[in-house]
Structure formats: structure tokens, C-alpha cells
Amino acid sequence: MVGPARGAALRGGEAETILSIAEKLAKERRARLAAERLLEQKKRDLFAANSQLSRHARSLSDQIVEQRQGLELARTEAESLKGRNSQVLHDLERANCEAAAAQRRLWEAMETIGDGFAVFDVDARLVIANQVYLDLFATAGIALGDSYQRLLQILSDEVAELDGEDAQDWRHEMLERLAPDEIEPMVVRLADGRHIRFVDHRGEAGELVSMALDITEAMEREAELEEARARAEAANRAKSAFLANMSHEIRTPMNGVVGMAELLCGTDLTDEQRLFAETIKSSGEALLVIINDVLDYSKIEAEKMRLYPERFDLERCLHEVMLLLQPKAREKGLKLLVDFDLFLPTRYIADPGRMRQILTNLIGNAVKFTSAGHVLARVVGIERADHDYDLHVTIEDTGIGIAADNVDHIFGEFNQVEDQSNRKFEGTGLGLAITRQLVELMGGTIWVDSEPGQGSCFGFKVTFAPAEPAGAAVQPDRPVLLKRALIVDDVQINRVILERQLQTYGLEVTNCRTPAEALQALAAGPAFDVILTDHDMPEMDGPDLADRIRAAGVTVPILLLSSQPDAAGDRTAEMAAVLQKPVLRSQLLKVLQDLSHPAKAADFVPIAAAPAARSDEEARAMRVLAAEDNRTNQLVFRKMVADFDIELQFAGNGREAVELWRSFRPDMIFMDISMPEMDGREAARAIRAIEAERGLAPVPIVALTAHAMEGDRASILAAGIDHYLTKPLKKAAIAARIAENCPATARPAIPAASGEPA
Ligand code: ADP
């Protein structure tokens, strides 16, 4: 653009102008470059700002997305919360409804029950009560919030019948009652006649829940029941009294029937007449057994049965029962056996009469229900720590037995085994029921084991105190070496027991009923090692027999068994020992041991002086007074004593008996108990009173009673009567009493010929 020509032309000024232009151009260029650079810079800045902006924008939009999502979430959550909330509200509403319904039902229930119901809070203020409860205090009116004390105040002042008890005391008592954890119920009688039982219970938090039960009806029913029970008991007493009276009324004529039949049997009769008479007698006796059973049972039932414990010999009692049943057993060919434990005492304290009844029932049944074989009575026992004895008595038979289904109920009343094999036996079915009750009355237990067709074993366990000196036990180290014994006793039971005892020590025994038989046996038989003789025998007494034995040249040791050793006086020179009857087995054994080992000489029992001897020629007859109102019984009595050597007078009642006793001075009196005007007890009391007043020796009085009612026995003995005999009278029992009481100054009343009293 700028040529050289032009350059020449523009020299000077021109050159300057050109320079400034160039400068200007350069400036411009620089400026342009700078602008371009700036632009470049700005472009770059802009780009950076742009990219930062876009980054921002991106992060911003990310945030927005995120926030939008969060918002969405929050919205759905809010939605669901809203739903749940309305569910809760719904549930709450329903729960409220249900609670209200439950409360309504509870209240309805509380109002429906006939009993009062209330709750008191820990401060004893009423918080809930149903109408029945509130009504109890209606007269004064109570409200929720009232205190328990106020309620008691209203009760004591206006509502309850305190039967004279002080109101304050009563309230105090009612408050005291709430103190223990277990609160005793309390019955309050209201003035309107109702009976309310307050039953209270302490809640866990200390509140008191109280029920007020109206027991008026129950109380009335109870009173009615009580009255009915009293009536029933009175009726039962009347029944037992009626039975007792009836049995007495029946027994009195039966006494005549049986007694007369017995006398009739003793007369000359044709075989046919004898059969009739014996049937009358045995039927009468069977009837009496039934009457006794019924009477006993009614007494036990009326709880009138009492036991009268006294000393008695159990072994003897057992033998006596066996002996009574012997005739029946013999008829059937049955063996009766007794096994009384050698190491046991034989005497105990118990009621002998009831013991005999138990044994008679069990052994009687065993004999009744056994047609072949044996009946064995076994007594074993052990001494307890308190020295009483646990005794086991078993009665074993080989009879018809009892089926298992019947075993349980034979001890019940009127229960007999109903089957073909049993039908032929008679009985009331009361025997075992009475036996069981008697054993239980004695504190014992009874049982039976049985196998039909094989036999039965009845057993009972009782605990008795022994009645003999301790330490009398058997000494096994001194064996009895004697071989043969001779027994002389007119009473069969004594012979039987002695024989059994001697047999257990290994002796062979010969029994004699009379001294004459004994002398014969000594003359004829083998040599004996010991002779045991009774003291008092009809033909000849023990000491006389001893003299006769020695006179015959026999030197065998003789033991005298006596119920009254003193009466033998100095006539015991020939005796190796005198033993008191009933003989203690341990004592007998000791004597036998002493005789076996003579180094230890036998102890002699000291003997008292002899009584004045009798002279039969000058002596009078024994005087006997019998008080008996019944004509037939008088006749029976007269006949029974007809062959005794006595002077007999009758009194028709108690008053006559007392009068006759004054004038007749009898040696003994037989006294009927129930008589008109004055009964036997009163008469005995009157006689005893006069005797005491005048210092007279008491006359022996023997009561004649019907099957003794319990209590009778006690009242009879309390009247001063010495003994009693139960009707129907037996000749042997009367003879024994007369013989016992015959005074030394009178002729012997019982002739030797009247024989064995047993
Ligand atoms: P009773 O002998 O008067 O019938 P019990 O009460 O004495 O009444 O006996 C009830 C029943 O028990 C008898 O009828 C009999 O069936 C049965 N029984 C009792 N003892 C025996 C016995 N030793 N053997 C078989 N049965 C017996």
C-alpha cells in the first residue's frame, strides 16, 4: 500500500504523517491484538462460567429430583399414617364400646345376684356397691365415698340386732376382724330377722372386696334339720327303750318256758315226750339268742353300748367258749382246737363279757358253717413298748368258706350270704355286725380271709394291758422233765385248760372227774410224776384225797389248786405246792420246773389258819331268800333248788324282801331286779343301809336280771348287790352261788350227788 514513490513525495511532513499513521496502525494492531486476547480470555472465562453453570444446573436438577422423590415418599408416608390413625381411632371407639358393654354386663350381673357386693379403696371408702349392698343401709342411705366406719355405725345403730352386745364393742370387733390377711366371715343378724354373712377379701393393692350373703333360708333349713335330727334321735331312743322293754317282757315268760322245759327234761319221760321237751328248750334258747342279738344291736346303734374292763383270763374265756360249743361240734365230728401262745400272759384288762361275745360269735359261726374237719382258735401277740400287748386272735375253720364278692358285706347288718349252700343255716345276720362293732369299740380291727369250699379264717387285733406280774416269763433253760400227770377236778373246763397247758410242756395227762376215779387210776394205771388236784370237790376235798393217796403208799408230788388256799388250813402237809386258782401258767410252769430239778425245792405257798370245822349233825339248813314277783319264775326257781338242803322263802316284791330279810335272816338273797312297788335295786339299797346302821355283816345278794342292759349292770352293782345272774336261770349257776355263800355254821347246801356245776 505504501509505495517508494509515494514515500519520496511525502518527505518531510509527509514522513511524519506516515509515521504517525504507522504508529497509529501499530497501536491499533496492538489494541486489536489486546482486544483479541481479551476476547479470547473472556471467551475462556465465559466457557468456564458456562460449564460451571451447567454443572450447577445439573446438580440443582439432581437435587430437585431427589427432593421430589423425598416429597413423594413423605406424601405416601403421610397417607399411610393417616390411614393408620383412623384405624386406631376406630379401634379405640370399638374398645370403648366393648368396655362400656362389659361394664354394663358386670353391673347387670352385680345387680342380678341376690347378694350384696361392694369394694372399698385402700382408705376404706366405698368405691363400688350394688343395690343389694346399698339397700342393707337403706334406712340411713349411703353413697359412694362413704367410709367403712360409717357403714358399721349405721349397721350397729339401726340395722343389726346385737343381742345386747355393746354397739361400740361390736364395731370394734368388726374392724379388728379385717386386720388379718385371711378375713374370717361374720354373720350378722338384722333387726328384720334376716341373717347376713359378710365375706371379705383383701385385694392385692389393699382394697377390700366385700360380699354380703343372705343366709336366712339356709339358717332356717339348718334349724329344721336340727329339729328333724333331734326328733329322729328321740325316736331312736324310744325305739331302743322299746326294744329293751320288749326284750325284757319277752324274756320273762321265756324264762318260764326254758326253765320248765329243763325241769321237764329231768323227769321220767317217754322218748317222744323227751324229744318234745328238748325241742321246746332248744327253741326257747335259740329265740333268746335272737332277742339278745337284736337288743345288743339296738344298743350299739343307739351308742348305748359301754365296755366294762376288768381283770380276766383270756385263755380261760376262750376255753369256756369252746366248751360251750363242744356238744354241737361233737355232733358233727368236728375237732375244736386252741393254740394260745405259750409266751403270752393269759390275763388282761378288758371287758370279759364282750370278749366272750366276740369269741362266741366267731367260733359259733365257724362251727355252724363247718361240717367236717376242725375249728382252731389261735392267740398270738407281742408286747409293745408301753408294756401293753397287741393280741391277734384268729378263728380258722375248714367249712364252706365265703365267696370273694360276699366277703365285704358280711360284716354289715342283716347280711347273710345268699346262696344254696348257706340257706340251710339259721341266724339273724347280726352276729358279725355286732362283733365288728364290739371289736372297734375295743379299739381293734377285724378281718376275714376265705376260700369257698376250703374254709374261712376270721381274725381280729386288739391291744390289752396285761393283768399279771411282769417277768413271769418262761425260762427255757429249765426244761420240764416230768412225763405223766394226773388231774383231779370236778369242773370240766378246769380239766381242759390244765390238760392243754400240761400238754404244751410235753406231759401226758390222765383226767379224773372225782377223787374216787383218781384213786382208781393210781391203783390201776402207770406211775405218774405229778398229781394236780382241785381243792373243793363234792365227794372229797383235795387234802382228804392227798391223805388217801399217801395211805395207799403213793409218794408222787401233789399240787393243790385252790380258789381259797387259806381255807386248806394246816392240811397241806402232803402238798408239794399250793397254787391259787385260776392258775397262772407261768407259776404252774415254775413249779413243774422245780419238780424236774429238785435241787431248787418248790416254794410252798404260806397257808392261813384253818376255819372252824363244821359239825353236820347240829348245824341248821342254809337260809335262802328269793325275791321274785312272777309266779312262773317262782315255780321254776323252787323246782331248781328242790334237791338242795336249804330253807327257802319267797318275797313278791322289794318291800316284802326287806321285811323278810329282817325276820328270816337269810344267809343269802336272790333278788329279781324289776319288781312292782319296790324294785330289786331299791330293796338292796335299803338292806345295805340298815346293815350299815346296825353294824351287821352284809348279806350276799345275787341279782337276777334279764339280759343286762348296759348301765343296769353299773346301777345294779352300785346298789350294793354282789353278783348277778342272767335269766333264764341255770340250775348249775344257782347251785354254785348257793355253795359259795353257804356259811360254816350251816349244813352243806349242795349235796355231793348234784354233780358237776359246769
Ligand atoms: P348269722 O350267722 O346269724 O347268719 P353273722 O353276721 O354271724 O350272721 O354272719 C353273716 C354271714 O356270714 C353268715 O350268714 C354266713 O353267710 C357268713 N359267715 C360267717 N361266718 C362264716 C364262716 N365261718 N364260714 C362261712 N361263712 C360264714
Question: How does residue 417 score in pLDDT terms, banded at 50, 70 and 90?
Answer: low
User: How do 374-383 and 701-705 pair as beta strands?
Assistant: unpaired
Atom 11 in ligand 1: which residue has the minimum CA distance? 416
Whether 713 and 747 have beta carbons less than 8 Å apart is answered as no
- Over residues 631-657, mean pLDDT: 90
Q: Give 404's contacts (C-beta < 8 A, 6+ positions apart).
A: none
Interval between CA 410 and ligand 1 midpoint (Å):
7
648: left (phi over 0), alpha (psi -120 to 50) or beta: beta
Through-space distance between the first and last CA atoms of the chain, rounded to whole angstroms: 198
Distance CA 703, CA 689 (A): 17
Q: Which cell is 696 given?
A: 351287821
Gyration radius (Cα) of the chain, Å: 58
Atom 8 in ligand 1: which residue has the minimum CA distance? 429
Distance CA 183, CA 171 (A): 16
| Average per-residue pLDDT for the chain | 84
Hey, which of 365, 368, 405 would you mutate to test ligand 1's pocket, going by the most ligand atoms within 8 Å of its Cβ? Answer: 365
Whether 483 and 387 have beta carbons less than 8 Å apart is answered as no
Hey, which of 410, 425, 430 would you mutate to test ligand 1's pocket, going by the most ligand atoms within 8 Å of its Cβ? Answer: 410
pLDDT digits (tens, 9 = 90+) for 64-73: 999 999 999 9
- Over residues 665-683, mean pLDDT: 91
- Burial annotation 295-318 (CB, 10 A radius, 16+ → b, else e): bbbbbbbbeebeeebeebbbbbbb
Whether 456 and 402 have beta carbons less than 8 Å apart is answered as yes
Q: Which cell is 758 given?
A: 359246769
With CA atoms as reference, report the closest residue to 131 among 119, 146, 150, 118.
118
Interval between CA 244 and ligand 1 midpoint (Å):
25
With H, G, I as helix, E, B as strand and everything else as coil, classify residue 177: coil
> Quick one: three-class SS letters along 571-586?
CCCCEEEEEECCCCHH
Ligand 1 atom closest to the Cα of residue 397 is 23
Per-residue confidence (pLDDT) for residue 13, from 0 to 100? 74
Interval between CA 369 and ligand 1 midpoint (Å):
7
High-pLDDT (> 90) share of the chain, %:
34
Interval between CA 375 and ligand 1 midpoint (Å):
15
Distance CA 204, CA 478 (A): 80
- Which range has the worst mean pLDDT, 258-262, 461-465, 748-752? 748-752
Atom 2 in ligand 1: which residue has the minimum CA distance? 427
Interval between CA 491 and ligand 1 midpoint (Å):
32
Hey, which of 289, 397, 432, 439 would you mutate to test ligand 1's pocket, going by the most ligand atoms within 8 Å of its Cβ? Answer: 432
Interval between CA 435 and ligand 1 midpoint (Å):
11
- Over residues 265-275, mean pLDDT: 89
* pLDDT surpassing 70 at residue 506: yes
User: How do 558-562 and 575-580 pair as beta strands?
Assistant: parallel
Interval between CA 372 and ligand 1 midpoint (Å):
17
With CA atoms as reference, report the closest residue to 573 among 599, 544, 598, 541.
544
Interval between CA 352 and ligand 1 midpoint (Å):
23
Question: How does residue 11 score in pLDDT terms, banded at 50, 70 and 90?
Answer: low
Interval between CA 711 and ligand 1 midpoint (Å):
30
Hey, which of 328, 369, 409, 424 would you mutate to test ligand 1's pocket, going by the most ligand atoms within 8 Å of its Cβ? Answer: 369
Sheet holding 508-512, edge to edge: 508-512, 484-488, 530-534, 558-562, 575-580
Interval between CA 406 and ligand 1 midpoint (Å):
10
Return the residue matching grid coordinates 345376684: 113
Whether 510 and 348 have beta carbons less than 8 Å apart is answered as no
Interval between CA 377 and ligand 1 midpoint (Å):
17
pLDDT digits (tens, 9 = 90+) for 429-464: 788 988 998 999 999 999 999 999 999 999 999 999
DSSP 193-259: S-EEEEEEEE-TTS-EEEEEEE-HHHHHHHHHHHHHHHHHHHHHHHHHHHHHHHHHHHHHHHHHHHH
CA-to-CA dists, residue 205 to 121, 122, 208, angstroms: 9, 7, 9
Interval between CA 407 and ligand 1 midpoint (Å):
10
Per-residue confidence (pLDDT) for residue 106, from 0 to 100? 84
Q: Give 82's contacts (C-beta < 8 A, 6+ positions apart).
A: none
Ligand 1 atom closest to the Cα of residue 427 is 3
Strand partners, 465: 349
Atom 13 in ligand 1: which residue has the minimum CA distance? 416
- Which range has the worst mean pLDDT, 22-26, 240-244, 606-610, 695-699? 606-610
Per-residue confidence (pLDDT) for residue 100, from 0 to 100? 92
Ligand 1 atom closest to the Cα of residue 428 is 3
Return the residue matching grid coordinates 313278791: 652
Return the residue matching grid coordinates 312272777: 630
Ligand 1 atom closest to the Cα of residue 455 is 24
Distance CA 303, CA 436 (A): 14
Planar angle of CA 428, 429, 431, nearest 5 degrees: 95
* pLDDT surpassing 80 at residue 581: no
Hey, which of 300, 402, 407 would you mutate to test ligand 1's pocket, going by the most ligand atoms within 8 Å of its Cβ? Answer: 402
Per-residue confidence (pLDDT) for residue 609, from 0 to 100? 30
Ligand 1 atom closest to the Cα of residue 411 is 6
User: How do 646-651 and 622-627 pair as beta strands?
Assistant: parallel
- Over residues 528-552, mean pLDDT: 91
Interval between CA 327 and ligand 1 midpoint (Å):
20
* pLDDT surpassing 70 at residue 605: no
Per-residue confidence (pLDDT) for residue 477, from 0 to 100? 67
Q: Which cell is 236 given?
A: 331312736
Atom 19 in ligand 1: which residue has the minimum CA distance? 365
Interval between CA 666 and ligand 1 midpoint (Å):
47
Atom 14 in ligand 1: which residue has the minimum CA distance? 416
Question: How does residue 410 score in pLDDT terms, banded at 50, 70 and 90?
Answer: confident
Question: How does residue 426 score in pLDDT terms, banded at 50, 70 and 90?
Answer: low
- Over residues 692-715, mean pLDDT: 78
Distance CA 438, CA 449 (A): 20
Residue type, 198: F
- Over residues 198-225, mean pLDDT: 91
pLDDT digits (tens, 9 = 90+) for 615-630: 444 578 899 999 998 8
Q: Give 451's contacts (C-beta < 8 A, 6+ positions apart).
A: 401
Per-residue confidence (pLDDT) for residue 492, from 0 to 100? 79
Atom 3 in ligand 1: which residue has the minimum CA distance? 427
Distance CA 333, CA 324 (A): 15
DSSP 396-422: EE-SS---HHHHTTTTSTT----SGGG
Helix (H) or strand (E) holding 465: strand 455-466
User: Within 10 A of 485 (CB to CB), how many other CB atoms are there?
Assistant: 23
Ligand 1 atom closest to the Cα of residue 432 is 6
Residue type, 286: A
Question: How does residue 601 score in pLDDT terms, banded at 50, 70 and 90?
Answer: very low
- Over residues 149-176, mean pLDDT: 88
Atom 16 in ligand 1: which residue has the minimum CA distance? 417
Question: ω into residue 751 within 30 of 0, thus cis?
Answer: no
Interval between CA 366 and ligand 1 midpoint (Å):
8
Interval between CA 416 and ligand 1 midpoint (Å):
6
Distance CA 240, CA 302 (A): 7
Distance CA 370, CA 377 (A): 14
Residue that wins the pLDDT comparison between 24 and 200:
200
Ligand 1 atom closest to the Cα of residue 401 is 25
Distance CA 674, CA 656 (A): 14
Whether 331 and 373 have beta carbons less than 8 Å apart is answered as no
Per-residue confidence (pLDDT) for residue 587, from 0 to 100? 76
Interval between CA 258 and ligand 1 midpoint (Å):
26
List pocket residues of ligand 1, CB cut-off 6 Å.
Answer: 361, 365-366, 369, 397, 399-402, 410, 415-417, 422, 427-433, 456
Hey, which of 367, 407, 416, 418 would you mutate to test ligand 1's pocket, going by the most ligand atoms within 8 Å of its Cβ? Answer: 416
* pLDDT surpassing 90 at residue 702: yes
Atom 7 in ligand 1: which residue has the minimum CA distance? 431
Whether 734 and 640 have beta carbons less than 8 Å apart is answered as yes
Whether 100 and 108 have beta carbons less than 8 Å apart is answered as no
Per-residue confidence (pLDDT) for residue 600, from 0 to 100? 38
Interval between CA 458 and ligand 1 midpoint (Å):
11
Whether 562 and 577 have beta carbons less than 8 Å apart is answered as no
Ligand 1 atom closest to the Cα of residue 400 is 25
Q: Which cell is 134 given?
A: 346399698
Per-residue confidence (pLDDT) for residue 91, from 0 to 100? 92
Distance CA 63, CA 391 (A): 111
